């Protein structure tokens, strides 16, 4: 396959010619969208939501402390801080600052963005802190002392890379990073896992496992659970297939499950979540099942499996998480959250509802303490219900820890679930949030990929910027997501991808058929894989929409696998270098399907220079092509922000202000 792309020069991320083009497009967009008084109001209202002092400070328990990462107007890059449960219960917790990222950035002259921290178990006195420049996936790693509250001099440290690092014990870590030539996969992730001992150069770390160059990644990790200490290595063959091995003194022992199954180990238990049918003995378990076995017995060859969950037409497994003695199983019933507690015992597994779990649209178990006790933290909200954070103990009580404020007036708003019928007859659910007498425009959001489920949760940003101003908000649960289990996703991979776009178009048509909106009053919005969805809607179904917002998108499916992390997604989309794959990719690849003389709706494409996951060249080239043909398109590229598109709340509020102003200007 040859490249005859006149805009390849826009793939030079920091090339001066390309950046001059970006600056010119940014200036045009900013001049167009920020001049009206409404923009400042939109931006400021979003900023108030993002910086609100009374929003919930979500926490994770690490030993005796609850840790929180907090950003506001005074701390745009954020504070990593901690408190105790007793203090957290109060209206004004006493926070101890662990790390001030703004102060660190100022002292070091770097645009640091917090990427998280891995805390040593079971002592909880050291952490491996990850910081990125401008919000990219690539990050530096530094060891931090959680007693002295300072970085450890001559501690574990890694330069900027897409690294994988985790504790073995206080003096050893597993590390995968850019060790030099041949150490990364074609997707740009670590291929080699090493054991690195404190006080020794990284170059002397011992290799414990190697994947293959065409794998997505390979790595190693340690389970420090007392009495059940184990070490594992793995190779991710593609985005959905993995081999996992127990690392023993005698060598590696394969955890012999299907490659597309997900496994986890807790104490004596192995859990297996299967993406496709699995026949064990005379029993065939359907895709989407959750199975359990005793880990040592399974590795020894025994195949007695307990069925912990089996899907049906309406119910799918969302995830599962352990407390010390119990397993919490989260499911979706027609995209609404439900929870069950399973407890292993001498006579098998017992079941009970999770006490106190609210009946709202979306809820998530945010944290448990499987080393310590049976505590769980659960967050629940709905499209019109602000979040409530609960703390419970299985077998004990449930308390409300925090309630989020209402950021918009939801009185009179109604939430309804409808089903559209796609071209192949599949029923596609979607949620509509509106006032019954609404006559404003409609914004339809979708994603449709990578088994990501869109559940009905609260958004102060959407509420203020759209619903409170009379708009209708719609979320489509199209195939490609995980709302109905793995087959909802796997049925539209690769050559079946057009089904995703047919689903979204079906929802758009159903909204019109029900009288909820009209095509000229219907906007659509999506990012990343959802940005690809937007590009396909633009080029295949332009007559259905009045405006399109497309963020951090994939758009050039001929070259996506050659750009940054793109090679890791070939299991989702296909390999453009294979002629048979390119035949189905070229049917919908937006960049290759832009045509002259079409009635494309006004379009706004946004991305980030520092996005090192989805290359900004996708967005740049699409805009250049649309401009060449005279279409109504504008562009904004934030310099920072990585794949999230913004590095702090100021940037995020500005971006949302541009998006909302673009839409309201179209529909005024």
* Active-site residue, from 163, 273, 528, 608: 528
The confidence score (pLDDT) of residue 2 equals 44
Class of domain 407-659: alpha beta
Span 505-516, average pLDDT? 98
Domain boundaries, given as residue ranges, for the chain: 323-404, 407-659
Report the pLDDT averaged over residues 625-632.
Answer: 98
Residue 306: burial class (beta carbons within 10 Å; 0-12, 13-18, 19+): middle
| Token pair listed for 306 | 């307990």
In this structure, the strands spanning 251-254 and 327-333 are: unpaired
Are the C-beta atoms of 609 and 548 separated by less than 8 Å?
A: no
Residue 325 has which token pair?
Answer: 């003695």
**Peptide bond before 187: cis, by omega within 30 degrees of 0?**
no
Q: Which helix (H) or strand (E) holds 618?
A: helix 617-628
Provide the token pair at 358.
Answer: 């609210």
Take residue 527 and report the two structure tokens written for it. Answer: 């990012």
Question: Confidence class of residue 597 from pLDDT cuts 50, 70 and 90?
Answer: very high
Backbone φ, ψ for residue 8 (5° rounding): -60, -30
Condensed to tens digits (0 to 9), the pLDDT of residues 440-480 reads 999 999 999 999 999 999 999 999 999 999 999 999 999 99
User: Whose CA is closest to 564, among 574, 575, 550, 554?
Assistant: 554
pLDDT of 538 above 50: yes
pLDDT at 331 over 60: yes
Q: What is the pLDDT of residues 145-184, one digit of tens each?
A: 999 999 999 999 999 999 999 999 999 999 999 999 999 9
CA 485/CA 631 separation, integer angstroms? 39
Q: Which listed residue (266, 326, 618, 643) is catalytic?
A: 643
pLDDT-derived band at 3, boundaries 50, 70, 90: low
State how beta strands 603-608 and 362-368 pair: unpaired
What is the C-alpha to C-alpha distance for residues 607 and 528, in angstroms, rounded to an integer? 9
Over residues 7-25, the mean pLDDT reads 97
**Following DSSP, what letter does each residue of 169-224 receive, concatenated?**
ETTEEEEES--STTSB-TTSSB-EEEEEETTS-GGGPEEEEE--TTSSEEEEEEE-
Burial 489-510 (b: 16+ CB within 10 A, else e): bbebbeeebebbbbbbbbbbeb
Please, are residues 191 and 211 in contact by the beta-carbon 8 Å criterion?
yes
Rounded Cα–Cα distance for residues 210 and 579 (Å): 30
Average pLDDT of the residues in 618-639: 97
Predicted pLDDT of residue 286? 97
58-62, 267-271, 531-535, 642-646: which has the minimum mean pLDDT?
Answer: 642-646
CB 591 within 8 A of CB 625: yes
pLDDT at residue 645 above 90?
no
- List the beta strands (DSSP E) in 552-643: 603-608, 633-638
What single DSSP character describes residue 611? -
> Minimal CA–CA distance to 481: which of 613, 316, 643?
316
pLDDT in tens, 386-438: 999 999 999 999 999 999 999 999 999 999 999 999 999 999 999 999 999 88
Alpha helix ranges (H) inside 268-394: 295-299
What pLDDT was estimated at residue 159? 97
Q: Report CA dihedral (531, 44, 610, 659) to the nearest 10 degrees.
A: 20
Q: What CA–CA distance (Å, rounded) separates 184 from 191?
A: 5
Q: Is the predicted pLDDT of residue 95 greater than 70, yes or no?
A: yes
Q: Which long-range contacts (CB under 8 A, 24 or more apart) does 223-229 make?
A: 223/265, 224/121, 224/122, 224/167, 224/169, 225/266, 225/267, 225/370, 225/371, 226/122, 226/371, 227/267, 228/265, 228/267, 228/268
| Mean pLDDT estimate for the chain | 96
* Three-class SS state of 589: coil
Residue 444: φ, ψ to 5°: -110, 125
pLDDT at residue 356, as a whole number:
76
> In percent, how much of the chain has pLDDT > 90?
95
**Does the pLDDT value for residue 506 go beyond 50?**
yes
- Tell me the pLDDT band of 615, cut-offs 50, 70 and 90: very high
Q: Is the pLDDT of residue 55 over 60?
A: yes
Query: Which is it for strands 251-254 and 262-266: parallel, antiparallel or unpaired?
Result: unpaired
Q: What is the mean pLDDT of residues 254-267?
A: 97
DSSP state of 254: E
Sheet containing 375-381, strands listed edge to edge, beginning at the edge strand earlier in sequence: 362-368, 375-381, 388-393, 398-403
Non-local CB neighbours of 575 within 8 Å, separated by 6+ positions? 561, 581
CA–CA dist 56, 52 (Å, integer): 9
- List residues bridging with 445 in a β-sheet: 475, 525
611 compared with 653, residue with greater pLDDT: 653
Mean pLDDT of 501-508: 98
Give the number of residues written for the chain.
Answer: 668
- Concerning whether 561 is annotated as a catalytic residue, the answer is no
Active site residue 643: yes
């Amino acid at each position: 396959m040859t490249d005859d792309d006149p805009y390849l020069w826009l793939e030079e991320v920091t090339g001066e010619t390309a950046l001059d083009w970006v600056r010119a497009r940014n200036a045009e967009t900013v001049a167009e969208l920020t001049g009206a008084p409404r923009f400042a109001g939109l931006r400021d209202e979003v900023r108030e939501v993002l910086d609100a002092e009374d929003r919930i400070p979500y926490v994770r328990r690490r030993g005796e402390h609850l840790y929180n990462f907090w950003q506001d107007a005074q701390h745009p890059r954020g504070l990593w801080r901690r408190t105790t449960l007793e203090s957290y219960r109060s209206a004004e917790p006493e926070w101890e600052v662990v790390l001030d990222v703004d102060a660190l950035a100022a002292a070091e002259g770097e645009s640091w963005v917090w990427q998280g921290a891995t805390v040593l178990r079971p002592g909880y006195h050291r952490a491996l802190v990850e910081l990125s420049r401008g919000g990219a996936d690539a990050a530096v790693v530094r060891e931090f002392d959680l007693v002295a509250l300072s970085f450890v001099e001559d501690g574990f440290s890694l330069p900027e890379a897409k690294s994988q690092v985790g504790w073995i014990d206080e003096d050893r870590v597993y590390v995968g990073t850019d060790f030099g030539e041949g150490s990364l996969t074609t997707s740009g992730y670590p291929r080699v896992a090493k054991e690195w001992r404190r006080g020794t150069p990284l170059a002397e770390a011992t290799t414990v496992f190697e994947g293959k160059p065409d794998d997505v990644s390979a790595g190693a990790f340690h389970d420090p659970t007392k009495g059940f200490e184990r070490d594992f290595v793995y190779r991710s063959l593609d985005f959905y297939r993995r081999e996992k091995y127990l690392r023993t003194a005698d060598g590696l022992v394969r955890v012999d499950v299907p490659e597309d199954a997900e496994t986890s180990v807790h104490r004596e238990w192995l859990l297996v979540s299967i993406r496709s049918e699995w026949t064990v003995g005379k029993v065939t378990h359907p895709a989407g099942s959750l199975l359990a076995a005793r880990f040592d017995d399974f590795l020894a060859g025994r195949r007695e499996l307990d069925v912990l969950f089996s899907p049906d037409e309406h119910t799918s497994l969302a995830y599962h998480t352990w407390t010390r003695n119990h397993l919490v199983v989260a499911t979706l019933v027609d995209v609404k959250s439900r929870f069950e507690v399973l407890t292993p015992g001498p006579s098998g597994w017992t079941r009970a509802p999770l006490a106190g779990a609210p009946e709202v649209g979306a809820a998530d178990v945010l944290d448990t303490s499987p080393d310590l006790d049976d505590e769980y933290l659960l967050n629940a909200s709905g499209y019109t219900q602000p979040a409530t954070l609960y703390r419970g103990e299985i077998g004990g009580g449930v308390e409300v820890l925090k309630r989020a404020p209402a950021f918009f007036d939801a009185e009179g708003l109604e939430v309804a679930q409808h089903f559209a019928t796609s071209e192949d007859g599949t029923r596609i659910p979607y949620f509509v949030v509106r006032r019954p007498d609404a006559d404003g425009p409609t914004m339809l959001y979708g994603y449709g990929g990578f088994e990501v489920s869109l559940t009905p949760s609260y958004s102060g940003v959407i509420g203020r910027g759209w619903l409170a101003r009379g708009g209708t908000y719609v979320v489509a649960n199209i195939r490609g997501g995980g709302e109905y289990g793995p087959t909802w996703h796997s049925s539209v991979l690769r050559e079946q991808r057009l089904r995703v776009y047919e689903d979204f178009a079906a929802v758009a048509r159903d909204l019109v058929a029900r009288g909820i909106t009209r095509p000229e009053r219907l906007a659509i919005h999506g990012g990343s894989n959802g940005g690809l969805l937007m590009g396909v809607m633009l080029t295949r179904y332009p007559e259905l929409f009045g405006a399109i917002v497309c963020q951090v998108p994939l758009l050039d499916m001929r070259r996506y696998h050659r750009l940054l992390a793109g090679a890791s997604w070939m299991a989702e989309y296909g390999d453009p270098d294979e002629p048979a794959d390119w035949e189905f990719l070229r049917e919908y690849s937006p960049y290759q399907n832009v045509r002259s003389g079409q009635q494309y709706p006004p379009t706004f494409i946004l991305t980030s220079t520092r996005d090192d996951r989805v290359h900004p060249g996708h967005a740049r080239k699409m805009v250049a092509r649309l401009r060449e043909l005279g279409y109504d398109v504008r562009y904004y590229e934030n310099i920072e922000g990585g794949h999230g598109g913004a590095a702090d709340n100021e940037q995020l509020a500005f971006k949302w202000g541009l998006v909302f102003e673009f839409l309201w200007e179209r529909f005024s």
